[in-house]
Each structure stands twice: as structure tokens, then as C-alpha cells.
Structure 1
Amino acid sequence: MSAVNAQATAADPGVNAFVMANAGSGKTTTLVSRVARLLLRGSPPSAVLCLTFTKAAAAEMQRRLYQRLGQWAVAQDADLRGELGKLEHRDPAGYAARELSRARTLFARALETPGGLKIQTIHAFCEQLLRRFPIEA
């Protein structure tokens, strides 16, 4: 499988995927695309959890995701159709007005989610679990 096909497969939220690759290979882009597609399909931002190894990677993933959602919020219809078509491997002309409207609201929904999108390190996630369930741990 080519790298491009592997990235497209990993970005599909309907597929279980484990992404492991060298630095600069597109992992963050792939994971941001996957989260964006989950949100487009109706997953609430509070139901999405992204785990990574470093604080820098978590911050970069969050920055890129919010940047993409922010761009969608203000994009012209034709530009948004093109972006969504590229992301979902669909014909851009096939997007209905309600799909564009839903994509435009994702930025606000993500910002309004208590605690924001959960994009954190594995250590931060484990620490959160231990604090929440100290007796069970």
C-alpha cells in the first residue's frame, strides 16, 4: 500500500487504524483529517479523544485542527466544497447546503465544548484517570 493510500485509510473514521511513522511523514495531518471527518459525521467534540506522546505534538494537533475548523467557518461555498471533497474523497459538487452549514458550525461547537477538544499526551490522560478514580487505581 502506498503512503498516500495508507494515510487516506488511516484518516477514514470508519476504519480502525494505528498510526506509527517517522517524523515529517504526515501523521499529524492524517490524524487531524480523521478527527475532522469524525466531527463532520456528527460525533460530538466531547466524544473524541486524541492521544499522543509529547506535549508539542498535542499542541500542534490542536492548533491544526482549530485552524482547519476556523477556515471552514468563514470559507466561501466553492472553497468549502473543495476542501470537504478533498478530505472525504467525494465530488465537491455533491455537498448540500446543510452539509456546508454543519461544517461551518464545527469551529464554534469545538470551542463551546467544556474543556475543549481532548487532545493530550498519554501521560496526561493516565494522570486524569488516576485523579478521577484514585481508589480503583
Structure 2
Amino acid sequence: MQQNKDNKNLEKSYKLLVGWILSLLVITGLFSVLQIRLNLNLSSKVVTFFCFYFIHLYIISLFLMIYKTERVYYINYVTYKEAQEATREERRAFAYKHLRVFCIATIIFIIYSIISLIFEYLIIVDIGVFTMITIISAIRTVPFRLKEK
């Protein structure tokens, strides 16, 4: 099988993904330390929403990174070989579909959080809604295929 011309630059590397994971750990650790050091005394609801927004934004940053670098093999069910055989447009379209789903999920959660703050929902409800939105978003991406048949 002849390789696509635009795949010369698709180098198999997980350095960006490892860097992304490490930066997630460092930033969340710094937030915890700063919150204690600065004695912000934020309510548990505000801290919870901040953490959920951060998680959503970090997931979006992951899919944005995948979109920009075309390293769609970072996505669980795509192999490097499949990514290499796909055209640049197919890889970008595939990554964009994932990015779009999680951007919409973030917007939905932000709208929910405003409603939750107005009506003073319990934090356990916020946790449940966040979890359900994230799970539904992940399930929503399962039918996406790198190469359309």
C-alpha cells in the first residue's frame, strides 16, 4: 500500500501527550497549594466548579493539540498505522469532531452551572451532572471513524 504524501510529517511520538499529562498534574497541584497558601476561603461549590471548568478546558486543550498535530492515534481506538494511512484532511476532520463534542459539553456545563448557582443545587447534583455530561460526550464520540467507508 502506498503511503500518502502528507504523512511524511506524522511522526510517532507521545512526548506531547506525556507533557500534557504532566502539566495537568503540575497545574492542579499548584492550584491546591496556592489555595491553601493564599487562604482564599472559597466555598466548596466555587472550588468544585473551578475544578470542573479546568477539567473541561484541559480536555478541550488535548483535542485541540490532537487537531493541530494530527496525532489522532492519541485517541484510544485509533492505531498509528491507521492514522498514517489516513489523509491529512481525514485526520483533522476526525480530531475536529471530537473537539466539537467536548466544546459543546463545556458550554452545556457552563450553562448548567449558572442555573445551579441561581437555584443553589447541592454539590452532589453538580458532580452528577458533570459526570453525566462527560460520559455522554465520550460515548458520543465512539461512532466517529477516521476513514469513512
Q: Higher helix share goes to which structure?
A: 2
Q: TM-score when scaled to structure 1?
A: 0.33
Q: Higher strand share goes to which structure?
A: 1
Larger Rg: 2
Q: TM-score when scaled to structure 2?
A: 0.31
